[in-house]
Structure 1
């Protein structure tokens, strides 16, 4: 069973967006964080997307 997309109150580095995505898709939190950092380095649109997810994804 897949979990809902919510930002956890624990396991947050900044806002819990990567942790929420990792839980939702049953991935490693560190993998999602590394992909997010690589996205910031190679694609400029990753930061606005992260902020949008921070606003849209509800907190646990």
Structure 2
């Protein structure tokens, strides 16, 4: 919802964006080895904008 990272991934693979966001948050909270914020920021920087991808 912030930068469209999870929504973009969900749209690309045909998954539910809400479900993907919930799974991402649960995995981020449950695992100290999975730095969710860092991964999200990296994906935000690396993924093209929707206008660029079209």
Pairwise same-fold verdict (TM > 0.5):
yes
Q: Could you state the TM-score of these two structures normalised by the residue count of structure 1?
A: 0.72
Aligned length: 48
Give the 4+ runs in structure 1 shifted more than 3 A. none
1:59 equivalent among 42, 49, 54: 49
Q: Could you state the TM-score of these two structures normalised by the residue count of structure 2?
A: 0.79
Larger RCO, structures 1/2 (Cα 8 Å, 6+ apart): 1
Query: Which of the two has higher C-alpha Rg?
Result: 2
CA RMSD for the aligned pairs?
1.0
Q: Structure 1 regions of 5+ residues with no counterpart?
A: 1-12
Bigger helix fraction: 2
